[in-house]
Structure 1
Amino acid sequence: MNIETLNLNSNYQKNELKTFLKKFELNFDETIDYSLVIRKDEEIVATASKSKNIIKCFAIDDSMRGEGVTNTLVTTLLNKSFDQGIFHSFVFTKPSNESIFKGVGFKSISKTDKVALLEIGLNSIDKTIENMKNNLKWSLDSNNGLLIMNCNPFTLGHQYLIEKASEKMDNILVLVVEEDRSSFPFVDRIELVKKGTIHLKNVTVLPSSEYVISSATFPNYFLRKEDDSLTEFMKLDTKITAEHFCKKLNISTRFVGEEPYCEVTNKYNETMIETFKEFGLNVEIIPRKESDNIAISASYVRQLLKEDNWNEISKIVPATTLEFLQSTKGKEITDRIKHSSSVH
């Protein structure tokens, strides 16, 4: 069996792989950093790739079934990850391949009609939720709510949404998106949320983990890319939140802000409502707080930062956020935003 590392800098080899993947209705993912192929008579007959700790683009020709190909590909990819200091990996695959990966040690997290997500390694979704439980210590008969936010950065709109949710429930858990793909680093975003909600005694702020709105569960969130996979990733992410986080943490309601600007977020909210119904859970949409008839949003703050419009910024962020934005570190981030072509 001839297994080789694909040269991702070679357009010829990449196109060769793309052609092979199309046979399985799979698209090559440009975020891939390591790709393996197995050849037979110089033709690709099997492949698997990874993007950081996510295995994807897995495909095996029927002629190679039963040849131990999965084990060879997956073991090689995991060994590469180990060499890079990665000891917990996910795999995106079709539900029909789920049993193949379970056979080599992966455990299922969740699946939709078209995509399954499994994991292997030192961490697990059960361990993650157990750790969250230890931070919450909610009584079994309490009425609890959930908000999941990026807060890039934390605004009066975010604060208003959390305040409204906290009035309606015994306890509120705010999960701040942990993936570092935003203008403001996670460590700063979560600190601003904690400072901006310190007056709300029934609110707990925690990292979202890699199981909520992450590259593993919902890559389109960061790409803001609408393609055929978008709906499936939305279904997968909202299903993981419902069946694992809400059910296991005794959460009955997820709160979200009304979304007047972003079509991806709008679709996500619609998908979430449908998914949560299946699990007997509620979704409550709260109208956005406005300033001068404009819905307050983090993207608007970032636009104002580009324009150096501190007068307007001071109207739509808490004092703790404004203080950070005007600090040395805040100014460094602002400078990067000013020089970027977009405002992520």
Structure 2
Amino acid sequence: MSTWNQIIGHDWAVRLLQGAITHQRVGHAYLITGPEQIGKTTLARTFAQALNCEAVVGERPCGQCRTCQLVAANRHPDVRLLEPEVSKRGKATIKIDAVRELQRGLNLAAYEARMKVAILRQFDAANANAANAFLKTLEEPPANVVLLLTATDADTLLPTIASRCRVIGLRPLPLSLIEQSLTTRWHVPEKRAYLLAHLADGRLGWAVQASQDATILQERESQLEQLEDVVNGRRVDRFNLADKLSRKPEQLPALLKNWLSWWRDLALLTQVHKSVGTHSLPIHNIDQESRLHELIDRWSSEQIQSSLKQTDLALWQLERNANTRLVLENLFLTYPLL
């Protein structure tokens, strides 16, 4: 069975790349966009396998030959993977030195592959110097080299970079497809698959990882308990928690994203409840539904919308290296009190 079949829910993208190989119209650069853990790197790696698969019969990539296995393990000498460095604050950055090292490798002849491939993950994390340096490679690509960039959105890259790539935009998968895939392919129990499919927000990769790593849901539960501590706490309690959380800045993006999801669900439930009085809504935090309904009449729509916006703002500020403790203190002061 071809490893193309391992890609779930992005059939049109698979057909596009298969067609490019079949008709010998492979571009020198592709930009694969979409949310985190939606399958961008999986698609890029499978394309790299297909370009160099050794199978003589059957569909490529076979997933069984030496080349396919080396690419899958990130050990093929002609298929390079460039990933961001993550700082102690949790900020991911691609620096110019890493780009220059990659460029030197791409300018050398291939060891054994038909096509050299570079997979540049999260290229929206490249700093200005790294992005400008890589632009030269896009403008004058070496022969027999395919560049595969991934990013959350084409707009997060320099226009001069995005315009030189063929853009493949991956979209979130339907909840039902994620739930079905978890139960049939990964044999996840139905109840757990139902919860993970709701929490995944269309990201199958996240759902699979969470099904295999129990600490992901445990950490989420702890983070939601901390949110309860904030809204139940006095001013001094909120400042103390801000101080505690600020000491682990690398954990804050995940924490605030979970809080953001919680506020979004509450905002949705509040809006619909006050207009038509129905509770039949596709919220993400389905295991928190009872608690969310308890809070509908405790806070005004304005308070909930404000908390949602302020949480989103805090995430934006932390991504730009704002003072961690100050960001959290300001955020906690905007949250309503229970």
**TM, length-normalised to structure 1:** 0.29
Q: Which has the higher contact order (CA 8 A, sep 6+)?
A: 2
Higher percent of residues as helix? 2
**TM, length-normalised to structure 2:** 0.29
